[in-house]
Chains A and B, each alone.
Chain A
Amino acid sequence: MRKRENNIFAGIDWVLILLYLTLVFLGWVSIYAATVSPLDTQILDFSTLYGKHIQKIGFGFILAIIAISIDSKFYERFSGVIYILTIVALVGLFLFGANINGATSWYRIGSFTLQPSEFAKVGAALALANFLSEPNRDLSNLKSQLNAFAILLIPAILITLQPDAGSALIYASLVFVMYREGLPAYYIVIGISAIVLFVVTLALGLKITMLSVFGLIAVFFIYLIKNNHLSIKREWPKLIAFYLCVGLFIFSVDYIYNNVFEKRHQDRFNILLGKTADTQGIGYNTDQSMITIGSGGLTGKGFLEGDRTQGKFVPEQHTDYIFSTVGEEWGFLGTTAVILLFTAFILRILTLAERQKSSFSRIFGYATAIIFFFHFMINVGMVIGLLPTIGIPLPFFSYGGSSLWGFTLLVFIFIRLDADKTYEW
Chain B
Amino acid sequence: MERKYLAFFSIIGISVLFILRLFYLQVVDTSYRNSPLNNSAVAVKYDYPKRGYIYDRNGILLVANQPSYDIMIIPQDVRELDTLEFCDLLKISKEDLTKRYKRARTYSPRIPSVFLTQLSKENYAFLQEKMYKYKGFYIQKRLLRQYPVKSAPNVLGYLGEVNENDLKKNPYYQLGEIFGVNGIEKQYEELLRGVKGVKFIQKNRFNKEIGPYKEGKYDTVPIIGKDLTLTIDSKLQQYGEQLMANKRGGIVAIEPSTGEILSLVSMPTYDPNRMVGRKRSKNSVELFGDTINRPMFDRGLLAQYPPGSPFKIINALIGLQEEVITPDTHFYCYGGYKYGRAANNFMGCHCGVYGSPIKLDRGIYKSCNAYFANVYRRTIEKYGKASKGTDVWNKHVESFGLGNFLGTDLPTGKKGLVPDSKMYDKYYPGGGWRAPTIISNAIGQGEVLTTPIQLANMTAAIANRGHFYTPHILKKVDNKAIEIEAYTKPKHTTIAPQHFEPIVQGMFNVFEKGTAQGSRVKGITIGGKTGTAENFASFNGKRFQFKDHSVFVAFAPIENPKIAIAVFVENGYWGSRWAGPIATLMIEKYLNGETKRAWLEKRMLEGSLQSEYDEQLAVEIEARAAYAKEQQLLKEQQQLAQKGE
- A: residues with CB less than 8 A from B are 37-38, 176, 179-180, 182, 188, 280-281, 290-291, 293-298, 307-308, 310-312, 327, 331-332, 335-336, 339-340, 342-343, 346-347, 350, 354, 366, 369-370, 373, 376-377, 380-381, 384-386
**4 nearest A-B pairs in the assembled complex, by CB-CB distance:** A294-B32, A307-B40, A311-B110, A280-B171
Give the CA-CA distance A336 to B110 in the complex, in Å: 29
**Sample of 13 A–B contacts (CB below 8 Å):** A180-B6, A290-B25, A294-B29, A295-B35, A307-B39, A310-B109, A327-B22, A331-B26, A340-B15, A343-B15, A347-B12, A373-B10, A385-B21
Could you tell me the distance in whole angstroms from the C-beta of A95 to the nearest C-beta in chain B? 31
In the bound complex, residues from chain B placing their C-beta under 8 Å from that of A332 are 22-23, 26-27
Contact indicator A311/B111 (Cβ below 8 Å): yes
Given contacts A297-B33, A350-B8, contact A311 B109 (CB under 8 A): yes
Give the CA-CA distance A335 to B21 in the complex, in Å: 11
Give the CA-CA distance A328 to B17 in the complex, in Å: 19
B430-455 vs A, Cβ < 8 Å mask (1 yes, 0 no): 00000000000000000000000000
Decide yes or no whether B329 CB sits under 8 A from chain A. Answer: no
Interface residues of chain B: helix, strand, loop or mixed (majority): helix
Contact indicator B26/A291 (Cβ below 8 Å): no
| Inter-chain pairs besides A180-B6, A311-B109, 8 sampled, C-beta below 8 Å | A37-B109, A280-B171, A294-B29, A312-B109, A327-B22, A332-B26, A336-B19, A339-B15
Could you tell me the distance in whole angstroms from the C-beta of B541 to the nearest C-beta in chain A? 38
Give the CA-CA distance A20 to B226 in the complex, in Å: 63
In the bound complex, residues from chain A placing their C-beta under 8 Å from that of B39 are 307
Give the CA-CA distance A347 to B15 in the complex, in Å: 11
Select one of A308, A311, A350, A354 contacting B11, CB under 8 A. A350
Contact indicator B38/A179 (Cβ below 8 Å): no
Select one of A295, A331, A346, A354 contacting B4, CB under 8 A. A354
In the bound complex, residues from chain A placing their C-beta under 8 Å from that of B292 are none
Interface residues of chain A: helix, strand, loop or mixed (majority): helix
Could you tell me the distance in whole angstroms from the C-beta of A373 to the nearest C-beta in chain B? 6
Contact indicator B33/A294 (Cβ below 8 Å): yes
Give the CA-CA distance A315 to B227 in the complex, in Å: 39
Give the CA-CA distance A308 to B110 in the complex, in Å: 9
Give the CA-CA distance A366 to B8 in the complex, in Å: 11
Contact indicator A312/B108 (Cβ below 8 Å): yes
Given contacts A180-B3, A311-B40, A312-B109, contact A336 B22 (CB under 8 A): yes
Contact indicator A37/B15 (Cβ below 8 Å): no
Select one of A182, A188, A339 contacting B19, CB under 8 A. A339
Give the CA-CA distance A414 to B14 in the complex, in Å: 24
B33-74 vs A, Cβ < 8 Å mask (1 yes, 0 no): 101011110000000000000000000000000000000000
Give the CA-CA distance A311 to B22 in the complex, in Å: 22
Give the CA-CA distance A343 to B8 in the complex, in Å: 10
Could you tell me the distance in whole angstroms from the C-beta of B561 to the nearest C-beta in chain A? 48
- B: residues with CB less than 8 A from A are 3-4, 6-8, 10-12, 14-15, 17-19, 21-23, 25-27, 29, 31-33, 35, 37-40, 76, 108-111, 168, 171
Could you tell me the distance in whole angstroms from the C-beta of B418 to the nearest C-beta in chain A? 35
Residue of B nearest to A340 (CB): B15
Contact indicator B110/A380 (Cβ below 8 Å): no
Select one of A291, A296, A340 contacting B35, CB under 8 A. A291
Give the CA-CA distance A370 to B3 in the complex, in Å: 14
Contact indicator A384/B3 (Cβ below 8 Å): no
Of B14, B17, B35, B171, most buried by chain A (CB within 10 Å of CB) is: B14
Give the CA-CA distance A370 to B110 in the complex, in Å: 40
Residue of A nearest to B110 (CB): A311
In the bound complex, residues from chain A placing their C-beta under 8 Å from that of B21 are 384-386
Contact indicator B22/A335 (Cβ below 8 Å): yes
Contact indicator A180/B4 (Cβ below 8 Å): yes
Residue of B nearest to A182 (CB): B3
Contact indicator A311/B108 (Cβ below 8 Å): yes
In the bound complex, residues from chain B placing their C-beta under 8 Å from that of A280 are 171
Give the CA-CA distance A278 to B21 in the complex, in Å: 21
Contact indicator A381/B110 (Cβ below 8 Å): no
Give the CA-CA distance A122 to B14 in the complex, in Å: 24
Could you tell me the distance in whole angstroms from the C-beta of B421 to the nearest C-beta in chain A? 33
In the bound complex, residues from chain A placing their C-beta under 8 Å from that of B26 are 293-294, 296-298, 327, 331-332, 335
Contact indicator A380/B18 (Cβ below 8 Å): yes
Give the CA-CA distance A354 to B21 in the complex, in Å: 30
Contact indicator B22/A366 (Cβ below 8 Å): no
In the bound complex, residues from chain A placing their C-beta under 8 Å from that of B76 are 37-38, 310-311
In the bound complex, residues from chain B placing their C-beta under 8 Å from that of A296 are 26
Contact indicator B18/A384 (Cβ below 8 Å): yes
Residue of A nearest to B23 (CB): A332
Give the CA-CA distance A346 to B10 in the complex, in Å: 11
Contact indicator B29/A176 (Cβ below 8 Å): no
In the bound complex, residues from chain B placing their C-beta under 8 Å from that of A343 are 11-12, 15
Give the CA-CA distance A292 to B6 in the complex, in Å: 33
Contact indicator B8/A377 (Cβ below 8 Å): no
Given contacts A291-B38, A311-B111, contact A347 B8 (CB under 8 A): yes
Could you tell me the distance in whole angstroms from the C-beta of B453 to the nearest C-beta in chain A? 35
In the bound complex, residues from chain A placing their C-beta under 8 Å from that of B7 are 176, 180, 350, 366, 369-370, 373
Give the CA-CA distance A384 to B29 in the complex, in Å: 13
Contact indicator B22/A295 (Cβ below 8 Å): no
Contact indicator B3/A179 (Cβ below 8 Å): yes
Contact indicator A295/B110 (Cβ below 8 Å): no
Give the CA-CA distance A38 to B109 in the complex, in Å: 10
In the bound complex, residues from chain A placing their C-beta under 8 Å from that of B109 are 37, 310-312
Of A179, A298, A308, most buried by chain B (CB within 10 Å of CB) is: A308
Give the CA-CA distance A127 to B366 in the complex, in Å: 90
Select one of A38, A182, A188, A384 contacting B22, CB under 8 A. A384
Give the CA-CA distance A343 to B13 in the complex, in Å: 10
In the bound complex, residues from chain B placing their C-beta under 8 Å from that of A182 are 3
Could you tell me the distance in whole angstroms from the C-beta of B30 to the nearest C-beta in chain A? 8
Give the CA-CA distance A385 to B21 in the complex, in Å: 9
Contact indicator A347/B11 (Cβ below 8 Å): yes
Could you tell me the distance in whole angstroms from the C-beta of B9 to the nearest C-beta in chain A? 11
Give the CA-CA distance A384 to B14 in the complex, in Å: 13
Of A180, A290, A295, most buried by chain B (CB within 10 Å of CB) is: A295
Could you tell me the distance in whole angstroms from the C-beta of A197 to the nearest C-beta in chain B? 20
Give the CA-CA distance A297 to B32 in the complex, in Å: 9
Select one of A291, A298, A354 contacting B27, CB under 8 A. A298
Contact indicator A381/B27 (Cβ below 8 Å): no
In the bound complex, residues from chain B placing their C-beta under 8 Å from that of A381 are 18
In the bound complex, residues from chain A placing their C-beta under 8 Å from that of B11 are 343, 346-347, 350, 373
In the bound complex, residues from chain A placing their C-beta under 8 Å from that of B171 are 280-281
In the bound complex, residues from chain B placing their C-beta under 8 Å from that of A370 are 7
Residue of B nearest to A377 (CB): B14
Residue of B nearest to A181 (CB): B3
Give the CA-CA distance A227 to B63 in the complex, in Å: 84
Give the CA-CA distance A310 to B17 in the complex, in Å: 29
Could you tell me the distance in whole angstroms from the C-beta of B636 to the nearest C-beta in chain A? 36
Could you tell me the distance in whole angstroms from the C-beta of A276 to the nearest C-beta in chain B? 14
Residue of B nearest to A384 (CB): B21
Contact indicator A297/B4 (Cβ below 8 Å): no
Give the CA-CA distance A264 to B7 in the complex, in Å: 32
Could you tell me the distance in whole angstroms from the C-beta of A183 to the nearest C-beta in chain B? 9
In the bound complex, residues from chain B placing their C-beta under 8 Å from that of A327 are 22, 25-26
Residue of A nearest to B108 (CB): A312
Could you tell me the distance in whole angstroms from the C-beta of B167 to the nearest C-beta in chain A? 10
Of B15, B31, B33, B171, most buried by chain A (CB within 10 Å of CB) is: B15
In the bound complex, residues from chain A placing their C-beta under 8 Å from that of B4 are 180, 354
Could you tell me the distance in whole angstroms from the C-beta of B92 to the nearest C-beta in chain A? 21
Could you tell me the distance in whole angstroms from the C-beta of A154 to the nearest C-beta in chain B? 24
Give the CA-CA distance A81 to B26 in the complex, in Å: 48
In the bound complex, residues from chain A placing their C-beta under 8 Å from that of B37 are 291
Give the CA-CA distance A335 to B17 in the complex, in Å: 13
Could you tell me the distance in whole angstroms from the C-beta of A387 to the nearest C-beta in chain B? 11
In the bound complex, residues from chain A placing their C-beta under 8 Å from that of B23 are 332
Could you tell me the distance in whole angstroms from the C-beta of A140 to the nearest C-beta in chain B? 13
In the bound complex, residues from chain A placing their C-beta under 8 Å from that of B32 are 290-291, 293-295
Give the CA-CA distance A103 to B29 in the complex, in Å: 37
